[in-house]
């Protein structure tokens, strides 16, 4: 077994590998860029080596720097994590030439399966069903249009070396191809150093199913069941679960055996994932097609670990050291259900715009994951596991992926695992930047999700007008009104105690008028009983003004609420939605009818940068006539290009920025007349 390994990655996956290596008694070496100098994974490792500036192209993507760090520290092997160099054939080859073990598959398998174009050719030759498309070299945009016309719309354009949802565009028409093809080439080049693109038919109502593969260097290849990853946004996975609510035992076996045969054809070993697209229109579930094989560990691997009890990172290390797998296919079962939500630094209330900046407050619902070697350890504390690589006071940088953490829950049933997600998300505290906690909580409560009727179009279909918070039942609103009344009484009582001039004989108001989400409630407090519009509610909670999180028991049911004090009440966040509660003493409330309403300024004539990023392109100049929906500019943030369009027709009055400039959030790019 290795005595020391280097992790050629950063963030939560670096922390994840270090924890398993530590349990195995293996010393670890971290490599880090300028932006990550104070990151948790750097502190966790036994040694750390600085490898360059913040941009990945100048640090994490330079193989020579990784190899030099290995030689300087005596690291015998490298775990690449995912992304960066994990699927670079040249990197694995360079390690081999330097006498350093690669904790991953053989070079030949990476070359055969890591390239989407070549892997499709190989899969087709092996008799594997592949999605119809064009897998040759595409000369230019005109050539791409001809190919798309021949295949038939809709089509998907993908960067050959892409992954993680980057370098992908869906096209419903020629105009979409002409707009999207150059962007896919740029994203492929910027993120992966490869601008080749292929085009394939887009399967309608698809489900995204993937099979986890694990093999050793002695000819054993096993499949560790499937994961469902259908809920995606911009082709980036948001929710993953294992097993899939759609896959039957016969379908699982058919998929697994086919994926094992494909892996065996390329001499595969280590962990890997074969991704499949399944037609939701086929009730038998037999219409599945090969998409690609990821020759690395997947972001969503914890859900497989939770239902199998197998530590995939440990197995990768053991396989790289030449050990045989210690279990057989028959020993791999399915114990319970696991769901993973990716907590991203993006604002779902503002069209999912990336949000970078400082984590002013970061308190996950449970401590970061620690594996004690048991299946329960891989499931986390009470079935809740957090994989993260950030810290309170740290920065979420524009240079890397916007993921803050992965929240994994395990339970005996799918419904219970989803309920644990909602409860854990309510207790997740993040301040200082936008995040998607409310959004993923809303998904966990959505009737369609709970029914298991998933497709990759779930988010677009269920939130066509964007996300505005999860719907709240009348019972929940009534409970929140009761909590708002309790909070107001606590605040008034504290003010009475602080200000001695009021005297101890004055009691805080017990009757309140609460306006919650434009609905009015009359709340009366008496001991532990609260009356809301005549309905009695048993409320048990403690609160000290300044608390950010309150844990309440309402009519015997637990409810966790994030609290932000406002001048006229509170902002209450729970169950996937933000609720504004304006609270006034009941006797004062009628006076609000005489207040002047403040009208928000009209900003529709400005094109405002919605996030910190690089202005890649500016499509108009002063005096130009534009139409509603016309692309005006392209801003790149966190390795993704975002097209900014005109809200309405008009004339460009003034341009305030130039292509190539770095823009701050809310910077005015241009002004309309």
What residues act catalytically? 292
Could you tell me which of 23, 114, 97 has the C-alpha nearest to residue 317?
Answer: 23
Query: Measured on CA atoms in the order 253, 258, 261, 266, is the torsion positive or negative?
Result: negative
Q: Report which of 335, 312, 303 is spatially closest to residue 407, judged by C-alpha positions.
A: 303
Whole-angstrom Cα Rg for the chain: 27
CA–CA separation, 204 and 541 (whole Å): 49
Q: Which residues contact 612 (CB under 8 A, 6 or more apart)?
A: 354, 356, 357, 398, 637, 662, 663, 664, 665
Residue 61 near residue 78, CB atoms below 8 Å: no
Buried b (16+ CB within 10 A) or exposed e, 237-261: bbbbbbbbbbbeeebbeebbebbbe
Token reading at 660: 């190539």
Angle 295-375-302 (CA atoms, 0-180°, nearest 5)?
Answer: 35
Q: What span, in angstroms and rounded, lies between the C-alpha atoms of 356 and 639?
A: 13
Burial class of 23 by CB neighbour count within 10 A (0 to 12, 13 to 18, 19+): middle
DSSP type of residue 130: B
Q: How far apart are CA 520 and CA 86, in angstroms?
A: 56
Half-sphere exposure of 329 (CA within 13 A, CB side): 13
Which contiguous run of DSSP H or E holds residue 540? strand 535-541
CA dihedral over 77, 82, 83, 86, signed as positive or negative: positive
Cα distance between residue 159 and residue 216, in whole Å? 30
SS3 annotation, 605-634: CEEECCCCEEEEEECCCCCCEECCCCEEEE
Helix H or strand E encompassing 91? helix 89-97
3-state per-residue secondary structure call for 157-200: EEEEEEECCEEEEEECCHHHHHHHHHHHHHHHHHHHCCCCEEEE
Instruction: State residue 504 phi and psi, 5-degree precision.
Output: -70, -20
Query: How far is 207 from 291, CA to CA, in rounded Å?
Result: 12
């Amino acid at each position: 077994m290795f005595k020391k390994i280097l992790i050629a990655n950063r963030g939560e996956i670096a922390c994840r590998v270090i924890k398993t290596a530590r349990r195995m008694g293996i010393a670890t070496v971290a490599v880090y860029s300028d932006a990550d100098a104070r990151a948790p994974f750097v502190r966790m490792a036994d040694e750390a080596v600085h490898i360059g500036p913040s941009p990945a192209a100048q640090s994490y993507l330079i193989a020579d720097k990784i190899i030099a760090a290995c030689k300087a520290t005596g690291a015998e092997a490298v775990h690449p994590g995912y992304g960066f160099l994990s699927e670079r054939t040249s990197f694995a080859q360079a390690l081999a030439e330097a006498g350093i073990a690669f904790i991953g598959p053989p070079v030949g398998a990476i070359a055969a399966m890591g390239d989407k174009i070549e892997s499709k050719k190989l899969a087709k030759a092996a008799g594997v069903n592949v999605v119809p498309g064009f897998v040759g070299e595409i000369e230019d945009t005109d050539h791409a249009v001809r190919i798309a016309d021949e295949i038939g719309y809709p089509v998907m354009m993908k960067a050959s070396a892409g992954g993680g949802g980057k370098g992908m565009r869906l096209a419903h028409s020629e105009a979409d191809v002409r707009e999207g093809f150059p962007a896919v080439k740029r994203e492929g080049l910027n993120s992966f150093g490869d601008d080749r693109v292929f085009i394939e038919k887009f399967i309608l109502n698809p489900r995204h199913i993937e099979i986890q593969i694990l093999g050793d260097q002695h000819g054993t290849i096993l499949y560790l069941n499937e994961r469902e990853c259908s809920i995606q946004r911009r082709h980036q996975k948001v929710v993953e679960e294992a097993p899939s609510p759609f896959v039957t035992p016969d379908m699982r076996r058919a998929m697994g055996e086919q994926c094992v045969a494909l892996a065996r054809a390329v001499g595969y070993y280590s962990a890997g994932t074969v991704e499949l697209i399944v037609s939701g229109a086929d009730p038998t579930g037999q219409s599945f097609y090969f998409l690609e094989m990821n020759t690395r560990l997947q972001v969503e691997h914890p859900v497989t670990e939770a239902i199998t009890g197998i530590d995939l990172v440990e197995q990768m290390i053991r396989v790289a050291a030449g050990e045989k797998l210690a279990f057989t296919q028959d020993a791999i079962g399915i114990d319970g259900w696991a769901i993973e939500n990716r907590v991203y630094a993006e604002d779902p209330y503002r069209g999912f715009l990336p949000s970078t900046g400082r984590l002013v407050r970061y308190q996950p619902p449970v401590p970061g994951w620690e594996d004690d070697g048991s299946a329960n350890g891989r499931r986390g504390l009470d079935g809740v596991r957090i994989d993260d690589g950030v810290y309170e006071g740290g920065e979420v940088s524009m240079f890397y992926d916007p993921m803050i953490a992965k929240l994994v829950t395990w339970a005996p049933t799918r419904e219970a695992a989803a309920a644990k997600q909602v409860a854990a998300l309510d207790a997740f505290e993040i301040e200082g930047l936008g995040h998607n906690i409310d959004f993923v909580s809303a998904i966990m409560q959505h009737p369609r999700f709970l029914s298991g009727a998933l497709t990759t179009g779930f988010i677009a279909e269920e939130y066509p007008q964007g996300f505005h918070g999860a719907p709240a039942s009348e019972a929940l609103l009534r409970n929140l009104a009761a909590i708002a009344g309790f909070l107001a009484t606590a605040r008034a009582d504290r003010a009475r105690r602080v200000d001695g001039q009021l005297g101890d004989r004055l009691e805080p108001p017990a009757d309140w008028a609460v306006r919650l989400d434009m609905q009015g409630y009359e709340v009366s407090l008496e001991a532990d009983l609260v009356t809301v519009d005549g309905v009695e509610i048993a409320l048990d909670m403690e609160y000290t003004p300044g608390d950010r999180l309150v844990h309440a028991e309402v009519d015997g049911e637990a409810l966790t609420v994030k609290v932000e004090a406002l001048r006229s009440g509170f902002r209450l966040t729970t169950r996937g939605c933000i609720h504004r509660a304006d609270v006034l003493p009941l006797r004062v409330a009628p006076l609000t009818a005489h207040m002047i309403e403040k009208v928000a300024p009209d900003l529709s004539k400005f094109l405002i940068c919605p996030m910190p990023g690089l202005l890649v392109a500016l499509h108009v100049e002063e005096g130009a006539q534009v139409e509603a929906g016309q692309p005006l500019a392209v801003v790149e943030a966190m390795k993704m290009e975002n097209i900014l369009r005109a809200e309405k027709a008009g004339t460009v009055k003034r341009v305030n920025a130039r292509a190539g400039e770095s823009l701050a959030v809310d910077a005015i790019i241009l002004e309309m007349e």
